[in-house]
């Protein structure tokens, strides 16, 4: 997602709520004043759907300097809201740099190492990101895409509620929130770990019924709650 000049994301919450992972990056207005750029970053991080900040300083080596903002404030916000920072492996970027990666580690902010690949041949560039992460003293436990798929999704959620509040519809929780929910009527309690919501007309039309990853369902007031098997 693009972080716009004022800090909003360039897609609606309705669309963002349908995505498994939301990566937010700055692609324009690189020369804002330091205070304005800091506020822009903070606004994006506080968006309830933001999960990862991509190429966080926007630098392109030998062509564009890093954007100027208060990294201390930005990392504090990431830690508060459970947003991860990217270590971009592309040789022209290597963003975040080692000093900032060390700051992430010291402040408990998780990191994602990715390639910024625009074709399959770029996937091998991951090795440069790994080397940069080592320079920042990162370990496996600091990098969330070393996790399994389920744990990665859960960690991307950051423990925060991602709610939608559409007119006339009940709010739902997104995958990654731990829930203890009591079904009305029969009093049965469904303890769920990784959950996601999907509003559907009737339970038997739920896409999850054809998806082997999801084994159990609870239906309540038009919202389908899905639980991973096991």
pLDDT tens digits along 24-80: 999 999 999 999 999 999 999 999 999 999 999 999 999 999 999 999 999 999 999
- Average pLDDT (91-106) is 96
- Say which residue, 195 or 69, is predicted with more confidence: 69
Res 184 pLDDT > 60: no
Res 106 pLDDT > 50: yes
Cα angle at 9 between 223 and 79, to 5 degrees? 80
Q: Are 181 and 219 in contact (CB under 8 A)?
A: no
**Chosen domain end from 96, 125, 157:** 157
Domain with residue 106: its CATH number is: 3.20.20.140
Q: Are residues 113 and 201 in the same domain?
A: no
- Average pLDDT (176-197) is 37
Each residue of 113-172: pLDDT tens digit?
A: 999 998 999 999 999 999 999 999 999 999 999 988 878 877 775 434 443 332 233 344
Q: Are residues 152 and 198 in the same domain?
A: no
Q: Are residues 144 and 211 in the same domain?
A: no
Q: Are residues 149 and 184 in the same domain?
A: no
Each residue of 77-96: pLDDT tens digit?
A: 999 999 999 999 999 999 99
Q: Is residue 35 part of a domain?
A: yes
H or E stretch covering 104: helix 98-107
Q: In angstroms, rounded to a whole number, what is the distance separating the alpha carbons of residues 39 and 208?
A: 40
Which range of residues forms the domain containing residue 41?
A: 13-157
Per-residue pLDDT, 151: 82
Q: Is residue 172 part of a domain?
A: no
Q: Is residue 7 part of a domain?
A: no
Per-residue pLDDT, 52: 95
Q: Is residue 164 part of a domain?
A: no
Domain count, the chain: 2
Q: Are residues 196 and 130 in the same domain?
A: no
User: DSSP letter string over 158-193?
Assistant: TT-------TTS-----TT--EEEE-TTT--EEEES
Q: Are 74 and 105 in contact (CB under 8 A)?
A: no
Res 23 pLDDT > 60: yes
**Least confidently predicted of 13-17, 24-28, 100-104:** 13-17
Per-residue pLDDT, 89: 96
150 three-class SS: helix
Q: Are residues 87 and 191 in the same domain?
A: no
């Amino acid at each position: 997602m693009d972080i716009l000049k004022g800090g909003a994301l360039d897609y609606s919450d309705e669309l963002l709520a349908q995505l498994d992972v939301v990566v937010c990056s700055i692609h324009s207005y690189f020369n804002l004043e330091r205070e304005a750029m800091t506020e822009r970053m903070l606004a994006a991080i506080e968006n309830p759907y933001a999960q990862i900040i991509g190429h966080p300083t926007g630098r392109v080596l030998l062509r564009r300097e890093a954007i100027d903002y208060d990294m201390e404030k930005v990392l504090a916000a990431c830690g508060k809201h459970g947003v991860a920072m990217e270590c971009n492996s592309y040789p022209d970027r290597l963003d975040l740099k080692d000093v900032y990666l060390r700051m992430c580690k010291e402040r408990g902010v998780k990191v994602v190492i990715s390639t910024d690949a625009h074709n399959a041949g770029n996937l091998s560039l991951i090795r440069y990101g790994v080397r940069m992460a080592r320079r920042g003293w990162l370990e496996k436990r600091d990098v969330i895409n070393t996790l399994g798929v389920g744990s990665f999704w859960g960690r991307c959620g950051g423990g925060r509620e991602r709610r939608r509040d559409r007119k006339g519809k009940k709010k739902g929780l997104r995958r990654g929130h731990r829930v203890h929910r009591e079904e009305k009527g029969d009093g049965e309690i469904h303890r769920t770990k990784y959950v996601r919501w999907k509003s559907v007309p009737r339970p038997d039309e739920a896409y999850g019924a054809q998806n082997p990853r999801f084994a159990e369902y609870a239906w309540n007031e038009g919202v389908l709650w899905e639980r991973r098997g096991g």
